[in-house]
Amino acid sequence: MKIAVVHDYFTQLGGAEKVAAEMFAMVPDAALFATVALPQCMPPLLEGVPVNTSWMQNLPSIHKYYRLYFLLYPFAVNSLDLSSYELVLSSSSGYAKGVNTGRDSIHVCYCHTPTRWVWNYDGYSKRESFGALQRSILPMLIQGLKYWDQGASRQPDHFVANSKVVADRIQAAYGRSAEVIHPPIDVNRFHPSDEQDDYYIVLSRLVPYKRIDLAVQACTRLKRKLLVIGDGPNRKSLESMAGPTVKFLGRASDKDVEHYVARCRALLFPGEEDFGMAPVEVAAAGRPTIAFRAGGACETIVENLTGVFFDRQTPEDLAAAIERFEKQSWSSGELRRHADKFRVEVFNDRFLSFLTRIGAPVRALDPASRLGSAVHTFADVGA
């Protein structure tokens, strides 16, 4: 069977790239496609794998300005010809679902979320530093993208969502139902430690919608130690509001991340995520999470067993949750057992079972045929 895997773009290392890599590893001998693939942003599991890219790959300074080219991605996706493939697996939070396939092919889209800046533009724009000109022009451009996105949503034969929250969004935005299969987590990468240090941790790209500002302000007010691992355009503004107990470590090596995670008091997870892999990865190390009660966190955190929630995105509410958390005790064994439900093997089994159920004659994955160990780049810790 001739199979293609297509991802929106490899321009950062995050959870979506992790899923795309695992999807590719599930189907040996598949061809890999993307509009753009920056070598420094390829997951380790895909190192050395040829990527069929679009003409956008050669645009000036694409590594720096890939976000500014957002109006070109629909055209780039349409230029990818996958008509000769019998099975197409797309990994999409934006454009890949609109790829052209053959009349008799089966197209399954693993949707991380309906295009965020299209379907939630008002919320997205409030957190971005748009100037007056951008705010006057962007709504018209976004309306055009929404029209394209609705048309593109009719391309896949089947949708798979990474969470119940995203499945509901797919239904609302596209009028399509979706199978829910949680993303793969490399739980074997993390191990509980007998040692615990006195600090909280953030693991994230430093972009506005992640709401890392809440963690910085809450820990500054409480005089709690906070280590912020990750980088991004919001770093300078976050540093300007941080007190002496908050340290920014930038991007960290896998070894350092594993060390800090295993010894932290808890992960702070103040944004609303489509799924959010970090709470599960931290649970694999036996550590809990303090999270905003919204999005995928409601599916990955069991209250008072693997973490606690706060209900308003304010520094005061997060600070109160931290103080409440500190009065409770936590079982690293229970946390690890919870994380095991999201293992890579569980993802593979569920996805392959779904493909078989819809009539895609894929062969079972031979563990020995995997390209390597699971992706080792921590979800969303990048520039």
Say which residues have a Cβ less than 8 Å from residue 185's Cβ, sequence separation at least 6. Answer: 277, 280, 281, 284, 339, 342, 343, 344
In the CATH scheme, what architecture does the domain 3-184+343-369 have? Answer: 3-Layer(aba) Sandwich (3.40)
Q: Is residue 357 scored above 60 in pLDDT?
A: yes
Q: Which one, of 232, 269, 274, 243, lies nearest residue 128 by Cα?
A: 232
Residue that is written with structure tokens 């944004």 in the block: 271
Give residue-wise pLDDT tens across range 137-153: 676 778 888 899 999 99
At 132 the pLDDT is 55
Q: Is residue 168 scored above 90 in pLDDT?
A: yes
Give residue-wise pLDDT tens across range 14-59: 889 989 999 999 987 899 999 999 999 999 899 899 999 999 999 9
Q: Is residue 130 scored above 60 in pLDDT?
A: no
- List residues bridging with 52 in a β-sheet: 33
Mean pLDDT across 98-109: 95
Question: What span, in angstroms and rounded, lies between the C-alpha atoms of 177 and 17?
Answer: 23
Residue 380: count other Cβ atoms within 10 Å of its Cβ: 25
Question: What span, in angstroms and rounded, lies between the C-alpha atoms of 56 and 37?
Answer: 10
Mean pLDDT across 333-344: 95
Instruction: Locate CATH 3.40.50.2000 in the chain.
Output: 187-339
pLDDT category, 332, cuts 50, 70, 90? Answer: very high
Question: What span, in angstroms and rounded, lies between the C-alpha atoms of 352 and 91?
Answer: 15
Q: Who has greater pLDDT, 360 or 350?
A: 350
Which helix (H) or strand (E) is 141 found in, with range? helix 132-152
DSSP string, 169-220: HHHHHHS--EEE-PPPB-GGG----S---S-EEEES---GGG-HHHHHHHHH
At 142 the pLDDT is 81
pLDDT category, 286, cuts 50, 70, 90? Answer: very high
At 135 the pLDDT is 56
Residue 138: count other Cβ atoms within 10 Å of its Cβ: 18
At 131 the pLDDT is 53
The residue type found at 94 is G
Mean pLDDT across 283-310: 96
CA distances from 280 to 24, 110, 289, 302 (A): 22, 20, 9, 11
Q: Which one, of 225, 265, 270, lies nearest residue 244 by Cα?
A: 225
Q: Is residue 61 scored above 80 in pLDDT?
A: yes
State the DSSP code for 366: P
pLDDT category, 363, cuts 50, 70, 90? Answer: low
Q: Is residue 126 scored above 60 in pLDDT?
A: no
The mean of the pLDDT values for the chain is: 89
Q: Who has greater pLDDT, 252 or 128?
A: 252
Give residue-wise pLDDT tens across range 188-226: 999 999 899 999 999 998 989 899 999 999 999 999 999
DSSP string, 243-278: -TTEEEEES--HHHHHHHHHH-SEEEE-S--SS-SH
CA distances from 8 to 11, 13, 34, 285 (A): 9, 13, 6, 31
Mean pLDDT across 82-91: 96
Question: What length does the chain have?
Answer: 383
C-alpha triplet 367, 373, 378: angle, nearest 5°: 140
Question: What span, in angstroms and rounded, lies between the C-alpha atoms of 321 and 291?
Answer: 9
pLDDT category, 122, cuts 50, 70, 90? Answer: low
At 340 the pLDDT is 95
* Chain-centre distance for alpha carbon 91: 11
pTM for the model stands at: 0.83
Percent of the chain with pLDDT over 70: 90
pLDDT category, 179, cuts 50, 70, 90? Answer: very high
Superfamily of domain 187-339: Glycogen Phosphorylase B; (3.40.50.2000)
Question: What span, in angstroms and rounded, lies between the C-alpha atoms of 64 and 41?
Answer: 12
Q: Which two tokens stand for residue 294?
A: 């919204």
Q: Is 166 helix (H, G, I), strand (E, B) or coil?
A: helix
Give residue-wise pLDDT tens across range 368-378: 444 444 433 33
Contact 200, 224 (CB under 8 A): yes
